[in-house]
Amino acid sequence: MSIIAQHGDIFILLACAFGFFMAWGVGANDVANAMGTSVGSRAVTIKQAIIIAVIFEFLGAWLAGGQVTETIRKGIINPALLENDPQFLVYGMLASLLAAGTWLLIASMKGWPVSTTHSIVGAIVGFALAGLGIEAVGWGKVGQIAASWIVSPLLAGSIGFMLFKSVQRLVFEADDPFAAAKRYVPMYVFLVGFIVAMVTLTKGLKHVGLHLAPFESLLIAVLFGLALMGLGIWRERSIGRSQRKTDSFGFEGVERVFGVLMIFTACAMAFAHGSNDVANAVGPLAAVISVVHEHGSIEGASAVPWWVLVLGGGGIVVGLVTYGHKVIATVGTGITELTPSRGFAATLAAATTVVLASGTGLPISTTHTLVGAVLGVGLARGLAALNLRVIGTIVMSWLITLPAGAGLAIMFFFMFKGIFN
């Protein structure tokens, strides 16, 4: 009797437990990144951010999180090498989930915003090295992922820098900043709607089996942007000028107008993130379920049962509610002081970078992108506006992520091999 037939139920139970743990880590760390700019700029409270994230992350994960998830993540390992020993894939995926979840737990406790994508990639590389040997790893793909560490923060930082400069020029340096905000903010709302719709259409909805032509995606994104712009204009009508004596420039009213915009970006970021990054937690889980159900046959990709996406979405929500506040504090207030106008520039820059990366197929990390964008916005105000000590800690934690994931996965892989073989 094969190992998989003998211990199949135990493997599925362990995979569900570790998948939930990994999803918890995604919620505690990655979702907190997506919400950090909104909370840090005081456009939404922690409580409101959690409510937004609970609803939109869950919707993103469930609606657009994928009927088919690449089980062997992003072509990192060659599944053909596992045909004769399918139990190694099960041990490896269990070890990867547990390793990535453990690293995310450590990072979240320290308040470091690390990349869940890189955590799981590092873990899978680790198990492939330990179980299959050095030739089993697609080093070209791993190199691409490592390159995205540098490219995505630089690109997002540059876009954030330019966006915030445009806000300074068009709004804050105008003769009447409040009137200028009312005039230009609807255009920024359109930009948010357009870019987020493009993120969702290019990165999220492929999984649902909805394959739109580029022109159709563009048209839907424009219409969505216009609809959101109309909603923004209606919403900002209720905002009057600041009556405070201390606010002689009218900047407080301007920030309140941008606060409306931040609510849109927060909802949108949460949906796009849920649709994209839930695969990190449920991909390896789906692989284990598939191997057990197929009695050891290894599929390149496997259909994800609906309850797995619900488990992933639930784990993300629990992680955010229980531990998300630490990373939110680092991204929202630790790197540079954020106001709604700065937070908006950072979030939009991050979303734009994700769209561009999806179009080129570059494996990218939401975390690195968002931190890069916040840095760019901080730089637009001068180097003194940045907290260099916090930035140093973040970069250090990024460099450790891949080897940490790999090391933990190797240890757990041999542990499972020892228990079940």
Q: Return the pLDDT at 295.
A: 75
Q: Are residues 128 and 77 in contact, defined by beta-carbon separation less than 8 angstroms?
A: yes
Encode pLDDT of 218-268 as tens digits. Answer: 899 899 999 988 888 887 777 766 555 444 455 677 787 788 778 877 887
* Inter-axis angle of helices 340-360 and 366-380, nearest 10: 140
Query: In angstroms, what is the C-alpha Rg of the chain?
Result: 22
Q: Return the pLDDT at 249.
A: 52
- Domains held by the chain: number: 1
Q: Return the pLDDT at 204.
A: 56
Q: Which domain holds residue 18?
A: 3-420
Encode pLDDT of 322-348 as tens digits. Answer: 887 777 777 766 777 778 888 888 888
Q: Return the pLDDT at 97.
A: 93
Q: Return the pLDDT at 131.
A: 81
- Tokens 């004596």 belong to 245
Q: Return the pLDDT at 102.
A: 95
Instruction: Please state, in angstroms and rounded to a whole number, the distance separating the CA atoms of residues 253 and 56.
Output: 28
Q: Return the pLDDT at 67.
A: 45
Q: Return the pLDDT at 68.
A: 39
- Low-confidence residues in the chain, pLDDT < 50: 1, 67-68, 71-72, 245-248
Q: Smallest Cα–Cα separation from 333: which of 26, 39, 136?
A: 39
Q: Return the pLDDT at 300.
A: 58
User: Amino acid identity of 373?
Assistant: A
Q: Smallest Cα–Cα separation from 215: which of 196, 275, 272, 223?
A: 223
The CA distances from residue 391 to 385, 398, 412, in Å, are 12, 11, 31
- What rounded mean pLDDT belongs to the chain? 80
